[in-house]
């Protein structure tokens, strides 16, 4: 393959060597990022994406639909099975040595593009897990969800417990599967951005950026710095809103009524600022292939002033919250994800960074205007508990404000701020990978374009990846810790089950 | 103690809506308006402008189905002489037909019947209702906007509106999402568990028509109306908290013009 940019090293291989080469990458120190499937007419292309210093290694192999199996690499990473379940749900494609694959994001291969499960010779179990249940005196299963108590997204957690201590949790996000990947097929590059914004609505800006960067690589265009800076402004406001939401959920769970009300107020201020600068509270319709559709609707200096006000009020309340013992006691030692587990599973975003991983796509796989902006030093929180993740998020809020100040300052100093928002692009045929750092972590988009339209697309949100670690985060936790662990993971079910 | 003082530090920040209009509510895009005098010539492809197929041209007159519109603004950008953004957030309506703007004479004629039928049903709510939310394949943003209703700015408890965990206590069911097939059984069960009288509000364009997922094999055709009878339709992708609040007020039978304004 020659149609990929330099920082993506792509190798096309046979089915037989696909697994060993992926294993070799992981053994060489790469982080396993994703296993993606792109249906391309009579074939399905499998991509194993591993992250290395400054870029991604992509190993591709094409499978014929007549023989829809591939060798598994379960031995190399505990994530292999997690991705295999997703690909089986979507396209009926399975590793050759898999005995069963439990449904994960859909109850049946519902996009119906290729294989029926019978052809693969597997009998997918729809109702129960292939993992043996925990057995012991008084141990029982509680299905939590899919209809939750409160305003939550639908997801079911099957909790196995003798009453207080949680022995095992199995997340089942498949209830709200929407078949998002297939919604892209056949759409124009421009329309794709609108769908990308709605894959994981609360991280729509990051998804749109990841998608657009994939398309822009194929069109081989440079985006104007003004547009890149506007993208940063929207992306960082989105990050602040998401991290505040996570802290708000913690406050709600620990009955910190005033803190809950105060932080909800600040989050509302952020959402209002977002709508004031683009007309939409989730910044939708702004990011488009080639740049942005609209400049900031307020002068950058005025936005900077409002941002400074919000920063000050958040900072005051956050400082007080982090000195409130009745709050902190619930977070310390809760839901520990050890650094070893985090590294093994390749935990993304604040979840990984709270367990000692340092990778942040904005720095390690830098893109857009982030190349030119300075970051504050990151917090030293590596205990892997809910407290560490909370500290990482608070730290990232401060960092986002730091980036916003620089981006708005740069926009203010630009000579012709009313021009150069969008470049016209001609999308060439080929395949490309785009990524962005969402509030939840790394988002990946593999896009295949044919005749100017999206032939095929596979996306992976950090929520999907991180959900695999959820069941490992209950080493000695009890049922009342559940809400905190869920809040500290900050998973969007829409992204996980898309 | 520090928290108590902190709680008092900003004074009253709660909106006066619906008693008084709120200036923020009308400050951002809530729907798309159509210039009614415009007559499209045959060679302009207005319908092809819309990525979700919300534009229809009937006898030269363009109309927009707000139940399909995701507010992407492409029509406003490409044909500003016909389409413009509206900031009026009171976009919720009592029937699917009324979401098509400008509305036809038949659909507005229907409104009086719809209003009185709903008013009869919800009389026993008094001025206090309990809400139950259920997600049937949303993108996650509608949940944020519904949850925002309990923050100090919107504070819907002041209007006798509370959220309840049990469908048994609920009067109004807020449904979000494109109608994922995996949630159909849970949605029906939740609805059946609710005591009469009950009202269903479809929150967001996804819930009304499927939005960008309307052609997906994984969702029910035609949004959640394909599973349940819907009483109030709140368009938007996602609708703003004020838009959702207006929809709830309609469902309580106490809203203002009952969805008559266009």
Q: Where does CATH 3.30.460.80 sit in chain A?
A: 8-120
A317/A394 Cα distance (integer angstroms): 11
Indicate whether A116 pLDDT > 80: no
Pick the residue from chain A with its C-alpha nearest to B177.
A176
pLDDT at residue number A419 = 67
Give B203's strand partners: B176, B234
Asked if the ipTM is above 0.90, the reply is: yes
Mean pLDDT, chain A, integer: 88
Strands B100-101 and B61-65: antiparallel
Q: Which of residues 83-112 of B touch A (CB under 8 A)?
A: 85
At the topology level, CATH places domain A8-120 in Beta Polymerase; domain 2 (3.30.460)
A48 three-class SS: strand
Residues A61 and A13 sit within 8 Å (Cβ to Cβ): yes
Indicate whether B41 pLDDT > 80: no
User: Given 3-state DSSP classes, what are the helix, strand and coil percentages for chain A, each rounded to the nearest 5?
Assistant: 45, 20, 40
Is the CB of residue B29 less than 8 Å away from at least one CB of chain A?
yes
pLDDT at residue number B262 = 38
Tokens for B116, please give them. 């009185």
Average pLDDT over every residue of A344-370: 93
A158: Cβ contacts below 8 Å, ≥ 6 apart: A129, A141, A142, A143, A144, A169, A170, A172
Mean pLDDT, chain B, integer: 88
B42/B60 Cα distance (integer angstroms): 8
- Interface contact A280-B28, CB threshold 8 A: yes
Q: What percent of chain B has pLDDT over 90?
A: 52
Domains of chain B are: 31-86 (3.30.70.20), 97-251 (3.40.50.12280)
B76/B249 Cα distance (integer angstroms): 30
pLDDT at residue number A92 = 80
pLDDT at residue number A307 = 97
pLDDT at residue number B42 = 63
Report the C-alpha dihedral over residues A216, A217, A220, A225, rounded to 10 degrees.
60
Lowest mean pLDDT among A16-20, A251-255, B176-180: A16-20
Average pLDDT over every residue of A138-143: 88
pLDDT at residue number B207 = 95
A62: Cβ contacts below 8 Å, ≥ 6 apart: A12, A40, A43, A44, A45, A46
Give whole-number Cα distances, B230 to A413, B163, B199, in Å.
Answer: 52, 19, 8
Pick the residue from chain B with its C-alpha nearest to A297.
B28
**DSSP category for residue A69:** E
User: Given 3-state DSSP classes, what are the helix, strand and coil percentages for chain B, each rounded to the nearest 5?
Assistant: 35, 15, 50
Average pLDDT over every residue of A118-123: 46
pLDDT bracket for residue A396 (50, 70, 90): very high
Indicate whether B1 pLDDT > 90: no
B91: Cβ contacts below 8 Å, ≥ 6 apart: B30, B31, B66, B99, B234, B235, B236, B239, B243, B246
Residues B177 and A176 sit within 8 Å (Cβ to Cβ): yes
Average pLDDT over every residue of A307-327: 94
Indicate whether B6 pLDDT > 90: no
Give whole-number Cα distances, B142 to B157, B174, B248, in Å.
Answer: 19, 10, 14
More confident residue, A358 or A92: A358
pLDDT at residue number A117 = 44
Of A279, A293, A492, the CB nearest to B28: A279
pLDDT bracket for residue A63 (50, 70, 90): confident
Average pLDDT over every residue of B118-132: 88
pLDDT at residue number A131 = 66
Indicate whether B43 pLDDT > 70: no
Superfamily of domain A182-491: Cytochrome-c3 Hydrogenase, chain B (1.10.645.10)
pLDDT at residue number A133 = 73
Q: Where does CATH 1.10.645.10 sit in chain A?
A: 182-491
pLDDT tens column, B173-225: 999 999 999 999 999 999 999 998 999 999 999 999 999 988 888 889 889 99
Helix-helix angle A257-278:A225-253, to 10 degrees: 160
pLDDT tens column, B50-107: 999 999 888 888 899 999 999 999 999 888 888 999 999 999 999 998 999 888 777 7
pLDDT at residue number B70 = 94
Pick the residue from chain B with its C-alpha nearest to A145.
B186
Contacts of B180 in chain A (CB under 8 A): 175-178
């Amino acid at each position: 393959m020659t149609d990929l940019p330099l920082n993506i090293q792509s190798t096309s291989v046979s089915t037989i060597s696909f697994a060993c080469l992926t294993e070799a990458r992981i053994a060489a120190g790469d982080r396993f990022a994703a296993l993606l499937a792109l249906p391309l007419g009579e074939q399905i292309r499998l991509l194993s994406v591993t992250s290395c210093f400054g870029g991604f290694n992509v190993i591709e192999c094409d499978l014929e639909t007549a023989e829809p199996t591939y060798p598994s690499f379960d031995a190399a990473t505990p994530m292999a099975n997690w991705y295999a379940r997703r690909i089986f749900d979507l396209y009926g494609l399975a590793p050759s040595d898999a005995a069963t694959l439990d449904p994960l994001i859909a109850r049946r291969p519902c996009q119906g593009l290729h294989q029926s499960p019978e052809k693969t010779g597997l009998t997918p179990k729809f109702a129960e897990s292939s993992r043996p249940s925990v057995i012991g005196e008084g141990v029982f299963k509680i299905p939590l969800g899919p209809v939750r108590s409160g305003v939550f997204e639908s997801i079911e957690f099957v909790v196995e417990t003798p009453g207080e201590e949680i022995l095992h949790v199995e997340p089942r996000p498949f209830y709200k599967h929407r078949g998002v990947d297939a919604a892209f097929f056949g759409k124009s590059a421009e329309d794709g951005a609108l769908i990308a914004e709605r894959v994981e609505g609360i991280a729509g800006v990051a998804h749109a950026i990841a998608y657009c960067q994939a398309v822009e690589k194929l069109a081989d265009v440079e985006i104007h710095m003004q547009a890149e800076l506007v993208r940063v402004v929207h992306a960082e406001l989105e990050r602040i809103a998401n991290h505040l939401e996570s802290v708000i959920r913690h406050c709600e769970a620990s009955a910190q009524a005033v803190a809950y009300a105060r932080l909800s107020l600040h989050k509302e201020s952020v959402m209002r600022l977002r709508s004031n600068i683009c007309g939409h509270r989730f910044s939708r319709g702004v990011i488009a292939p080639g740049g942005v559709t609209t400049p900031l609707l307020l002068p950058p200096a005025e936005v900077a002033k409002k941002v400074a006000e919000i920063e000050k009020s958040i900072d005051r309340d956050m400082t007080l919250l982090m000195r409130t013992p009745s709050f902190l006691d619930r977070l310390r030692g809760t839901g520990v994800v050890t650094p070893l587990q985090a590294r093994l599973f390749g935990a993304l975003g604040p979840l990984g960074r709270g367990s000692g991983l340092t990778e942040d796509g904005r720095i390690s796989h830098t893109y857009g205007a982030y190349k030119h902006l300075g970051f504050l030093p990151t917090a030293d929180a590596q205990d892997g508990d809910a407290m560490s993740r909370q500290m990482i998020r608070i730290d990232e809020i401060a960092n986002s404000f730091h980036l916003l100040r620089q981006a708005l300052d740069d926009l203010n100093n630009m000579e012709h701020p009313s021009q150069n928002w969008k470049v016209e692009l001609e999308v060439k045929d080929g395949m490309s990978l785009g990524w962005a750092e969402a509030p939840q972590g790394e988002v990946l988009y593999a896009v295949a374009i044919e005749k100017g339209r999206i032939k095929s697309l596979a996306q992976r949100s950090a929520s999907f990846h991180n959900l695999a670690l959820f069941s490992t985060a209950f080493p000695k936790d009890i049922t009342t810790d559940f809400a905190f662990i869920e809040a500290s993971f900050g998973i969007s079910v829409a992204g996980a089950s898309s | 103690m520090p928290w108590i003082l902190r709680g008092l530090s900003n004074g009253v920040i709660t909106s006066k809506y619906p008693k008084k209009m709120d200036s923020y509510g009308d400050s951002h895009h809530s729907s798309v308006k159509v210039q009614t005098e415009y007559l499209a010539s045959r060679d302009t492809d207005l319908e092809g402008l819309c990525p979700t197929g919300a534009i229809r041209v009937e006898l030269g007159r363009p109309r927009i189905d707000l139940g399909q519109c995701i507010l992407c603004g492409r029509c406003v950008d490409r044909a500003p002489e016909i389409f413009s953004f509206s900031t009026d957030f009171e976009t919720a309506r009592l029937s699917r037909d009324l979401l098509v703007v400008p509305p036809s004479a038949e659909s507005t004629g229907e409104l009086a019947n719809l209003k009185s039928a709903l008013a009869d049903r919800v009389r026993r709510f008094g001025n206090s209702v309990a809400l139950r939310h259920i997600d049937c394949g949303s993108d996650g943003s509608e949940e944020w906007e519904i949850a925002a209703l309990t923050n100090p700015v919107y504070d819907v408890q002041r209007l006798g509106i509370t959220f309840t965990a049990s469908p048994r206590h609920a009067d109004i069911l807020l449904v979000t999402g494109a109608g994922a097939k995996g949630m159909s059984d849970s949605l029906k069960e939740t609805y059946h568990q609710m005591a009469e009288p009950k009202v269903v509000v479809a929150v967001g364009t996804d819930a009304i028509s499927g939005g960008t997922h309307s052609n997906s094999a994984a969702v029910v055709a035609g949004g959640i109306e394909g599973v349940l009878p819907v009483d109030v339709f709140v368009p938007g992708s996602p609708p703003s908290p004020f838009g959702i609040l207006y929809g709830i007020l309609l469902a309580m039978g106490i809203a203002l013009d009952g969805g008559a304004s266009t």
